[in-house]
Amino acid sequence: MVAQIVRQADERFQGVRPLSPARDLRQVALLLEEAFRDDLGALHAWARVPLLREFGATLAATAFMPVPTESLRGFVYEENGRILGNVTLTLDDSRAARWLISNVAVAEKFRRRGIARQLMQAAIDEARARNARSLILNVRPWNTGVQQLYEALGFQVVDTESQFVRTRARAFSAAPLALRRLRGSEYRAAYQLVWDSMGELLRNFHPPLLSDFAVHLEDRLAERLLDFFILQSTERWGYFQNDTLTALVTLYAQRLGTPHRLDIRVLPSARGELERGLVAAALTHLAAFPAREIQVRVLTSHTALTNALADAGFVPTRGLTLMYKNFRY
């Protein structure tokens, strides 16, 4: 249940209550800006100027500010008229009755007082009251204290996705594997490879989307139009063993100043043998484009790939651990 209401001598409210956007927007915006400032990157420069911080925080938070509906709920922790914590609960998959908990934030000076636990319990109770079958959330992998709180509330780890970045060229001794550019008729095989490369539990919560692989003609046309307008080149390269697509390298190469993006997937049965050669091949193909920072996201459970990226000069910069909780009725 939502935290018990405590009445102070001045009759001010203390505890967890549903979020009221019209009443709470300003305070929640500043709270979220403080809690997730590092995720805003260069956008948080205005945080050093009081007037700009308040204006900028409101603009940044408006994009994900929860407006309570049947499928989107929010809670705040208030004490003596001040909002000290916030949490958002969103319907993530109506067919699976799965809900997503996000924006769990507590003012820095008021942490370790049990506020996050009360907010989480309010969200869990709300999801249960709406007959949720499961809950998911993301947490920074280095935030062990928060992860322990979630585990105490019944959440389990699915996997961790980390972002690696290569800012400058570095000698890498691995020989590139011979890759072949995929034909349009092979895009469905690429989708199936990515599906097979994910654990069953991860597929249940974050399945790959067919549209991301341009399987259908309309998706390929949309992809080419996007590439044209943003000066990007999307390339899919495959490594084949006995005519079977065994590994996929997808490049999102940029011709302007934005970073190149890279995605590498390997069938579980072939892991440990191909990763260094795949990374070397990807770097070789990207060398045909302007020198840029290179970003790649990888599941940390794929240790052979994370090791190969590290040897090639990639460093981890951020990550998210996906956790879930199932309900039993």
- Span 163-321 CATH architecture: 3-Layer(aba) Sandwich (3.40)
Domain boundaries, the chain: 14-132, 163-321
Model confidence over 54-68: pLDDT tens digits?
444 444 444 445 455
The amino acid at residue 38 is D
User: Cα(260)–Cα(184) distance, rounded to whole angstroms?
Assistant: 22
**Least confident range of 16-30, 67-81, 88-102, 161-175:** 67-81
The CA distances from residue 236 to 25, 129, 186, 249, in Å, are 43, 45, 10, 6
35-61: average pLDDT: 50
| pLDDT score, position 43 | 42
Model confidence over 179-189: pLDDT tens digits?
999 999 999 99
% of residues, the chain, pLDDT over 90: 71
Q: What is the CA radius of gyration of the chain?
A: 23
User: Cα(246)–Cα(270) distance, rounded to whole angstroms?
Assistant: 7
Model confidence over 270-292: pLDDT tens digits?
999 999 999 999 999 999 999 99
pLDDT class of 216 with cuts at 50, 70, 90: very high
Model confidence over 241-266: pLDDT tens digits?
999 999 999 999 999 889 999 999 99
For residues 262 and 163, is the Cβ–Cβ distance under 8 A? no
| pLDDT score, position 4 | 47
Same fold, 14-132 and 163-321: yes
pLDDT at 171 exceeding the cut of 90: no
% of residues, the chain, pLDDT over 70: 87
Q: Give me the CATH topology for the region 14-132.
A: Aminopeptidase (3.40.630)
User: Cα(215)–Cα(191) distance, rounded to whole angstroms?
Assistant: 8
Q: Which of 270, 282, 73 is nearest to 166 (CA)?
A: 282
pLDDT class of 32 with cuts at 50, 70, 90: confident
* Residue where the block lists tokens 């996929």: 248
pLDDT at 86 exceeding the cut of 60: yes
Residue 37's Cβ-count burial label (10 Å; 0-12, 13-18, 19+) is middle
DSSP-assigned beta bridge partners for residue 16 = 77
pLDDT at 69 exceeding the cut of 70: no
The amino acid at residue 171 is A
pLDDT at 105 exceeding the cut of 60: yes
Q: Where are the beta strands (DSSP E) in the chain?
A: 14-18, 72-79, 82-93, 98-106, 134-139, 156-166, 180-181, 232-241, 244-254, 260-266, 294-299, 315-326
The CA distances from residue 51 to 28, 48, 56, 178, in Å, are 16, 9, 9, 56
112-130: average pLDDT: 95
For residues 316 and 164, is the Cβ–Cβ distance under 8 A? yes
pLDDT class of 70 with cuts at 50, 70, 90: low
| Cα within 13 Å of Cα(323), Cβ side | 23
pLDDT at 145 exceeding the cut of 50: yes
